[in-house]
């Protein structure tokens, strides 16, 4: 999926997410105040060829159980689960389709544009997400941020207090995901 510059392979490995070392935050607004949810469980795999001057991501998958999204307020969590149709679609899934515009920033550090399928509430859309990748002896770390509208996945923005408080349609996802 990604072009490579070196013929000398250093490592071909399959990694799994390290949920304890990974973070994902979903940020949004409402008519009352800004809000944040954290994903407390990230499950995924990464199949990658690591070269001296580049890397080739053969496959990257990530699953976040909807009930792993937590705000610290159970009423907000329950409204979010309902809006995300958790009973019918218990997982949010991401699968990498391709990578482009790779730039080596330093030894083991790359910047690239990822293109992947994000499935939320049973609806799949293609997202382009700029990411930074850090390769180390202990694994590979992906970090980045993306913003999109919940309505693009046919998710109705949750409301609270009988509709008196509504959330904004636009959300931002910030992530640092460690695979080892």
Domain boundaries, the chain: 9-179
> Span 59-87, mean pLDDT?
94
pLDDT higher than threshold 70 for residue 164: no
Domain 9-179 is found in CATH 2.40.128.110: yes
> Span 67-77, mean pLDDT?
93
Q: What angle do CA 170, 173, 179 make, to 5 degrees?
A: 160
Residues sharing a CB contact under 8 Å with residue 7, sequence separation 6 or more, in sequence order: none
List the one residue out of 59, 55, 56, 57 whose CA is nearest residue 45: 59
pLDDT higher than threshold 90 for residue 121: yes
pLDDT at residue 176 in the model: 97
Q: pLDDT-based confidence at 40, cuts 50/70/90?
A: very high
pLDDT at residue 28 in the model: 93
- Distance separating alpha carbons of residues 12 and 151, to the nearest angstrom: 39
Cβ atoms < 10 Å from Cβ of 27:
15
- Distance separating alpha carbons of residues 111 and 143, to the nearest angstrom: 10
């Amino acid at each position: 999926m990604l072009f490579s510059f070196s013929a000398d392979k250093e490592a071909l490995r399959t990694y799994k997410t390290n949920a304890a070392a990974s973070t994902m935050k979903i940020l949004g607004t409402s008519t009352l105040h800004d809000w944040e949810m954290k994903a407390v469980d990230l499950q995924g795999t990464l199949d990658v060829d690591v070269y001296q001057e580049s890397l080739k991501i053969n496959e990257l998958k990530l699953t976040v159980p909807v009930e792993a999204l937590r705000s610290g307020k159970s009423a907000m969590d329950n409204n979010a689960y309902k809006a995300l149709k958790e009973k019918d679609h218990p997982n949010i899934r991401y699968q990498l389709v391709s990578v482009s515009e790779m730039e080596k920033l330093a030894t083991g550090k790359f910047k690239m544009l990822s293109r992947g399928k994000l499935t939320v509430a049973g609806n799949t859309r293609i997202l382009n997400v700029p990411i930074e990748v850090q390769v180390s002896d202990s694994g590979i770390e992906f970090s980045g941020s993306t913003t999109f509208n919940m309505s693009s996945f046919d998710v109705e923005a949750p409301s609270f207090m009988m509709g008196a408080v509504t959330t904004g349609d636009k959300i931002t996802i910030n992530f640092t995901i460690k695979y080892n």
